[in-house]
Structure 1
C-alpha cells in the first residue's frame, strides 16, 4: 500500500520533470513542473478509483494542474505554458489511444470503438478543465500570489 502510494508520487514527479527537460524549460523551474504534474496525477488517481469515471477524474486533475500552473506562473513571473504543458502530460490518455489503434488493427471494432470513445471523453475533459480555469480572471491568481508573499514576509 505504502509502496504503491510512493510510486504514484515519484513516477509522475520524475516523468513531468523529464518532459520539462525535453521541452527545454529553464532549470530553475524543474521542481515546480514536477510538483505540478504530481499534483494533477494525485488528484486524478484518488478520484478515478471511486464512483466517478476516468473522464471526470481527468477533468478535476486538469483543473488542479491549471490552477497550480497559474499560481506558479504569477509567483515565479514566467509564462503559464512552462508548467501547464509538462504538468498535463501524466493525464493524457496515451494508453487509451494506443489500444484504440491496436484493436482497430486486430479487427476488434467493438473494443476499438469503446476505447476510442473513452479516450475522446478524457481528451474533452482535459480541454474543459483548461478552459474553466483559464476563464477565471488573472487578478484572482495575482491576489493569491501576493497574499502568499505577504504572509511569508510577516
Structure 2
C-alpha cells in the first residue's frame, strides 16, 4: 500500500509538471492526489467497491482542492485536475477496448458499466462539493453584507 501511495504522489507530481502547475503548488497537488489514492485503497479494502471508493475519494479530493484554492488564492482546477488523476478509470476504458477487440461482449458490457459508474461518481463528487462551497460562499457574502448595514 505504501508503494502505491508513493507511486500516486510521483505520478501526480509528474502530471502536474506536464500541466504546468506553478512550482509553489506542486507539493499540494501531489499530496492531494496521493491522499485521494489512499482513501480509495482504504474504502476498496473495507467496502470492496471501486465505485464507492471512487466516490468517497473524489469527494475528499474535491473538498481538499476547494480548501487549497481558497487558502492559496488559486483556481480550484489547479489542485483538482492533477489530484483526481489516480482515480480516473483509465484501466476500465482500456479493458473495454481490449475486450471489444477480443469480441467478448459480456466483459465489454461489465467493464463499460463499471467505468461509467466510476465516472459518474467522480462527477457527483465534484457537483456536491462545488455546490456546498457555493452555498457557504453565498451565505458568507450575505452575512458580511448584513454586518455592514448595521
**Aligned-residue offset at 1:6:** 1.8
Cα root mean square deviation, aligned? 1.4
Number of aligned residues:
137
Give the distance between the partners of 1:138 and 1:45, measured in 2 at CA. 29
Match for residue 151 of structure 1? none
Q: Compare 9-18 and 60-69 and name the one that shifted more.
A: 9-18
Tell me which protein shows more helix as a share of its residues: 2
What SS is found at the alignment partner of 2:103? coil
Is 1:113 the counterpart of 2:102? The answer is: no
**Aligned-residue offset at 1:139:** 7.5
Aligned pairs for 1:73-152 within 5 A: 73-138=69-134, 140=136
> 4+ residue stretches of structure 1 with deviation over 3 A?
138-141
Give the distance between the partners of 2:133 and 2:59, measured in 1 at CA. 15
Is 1:29 the counterpart of 2:25? The answer is: yes
**Aligned-residue offset at 1:95:** 0.5
TM-score after normalising by structure 2: 0.87
Q: Which structure is larger by alpha-carbon Rg, 1 or 2?
A: 2
Is 1:9 the counterpart of 2:24? The answer is: no
Unmatched 5+ residue regions in structure 1? Answer: 142-154
Measured against aligned partners, the alpha-carbon deviations of 1:34-68 in whole angstroms (never above 9, x if no partner) come to 00101111111100122342111100000000000
What SS is found at the alignment partner of 1:50? helix
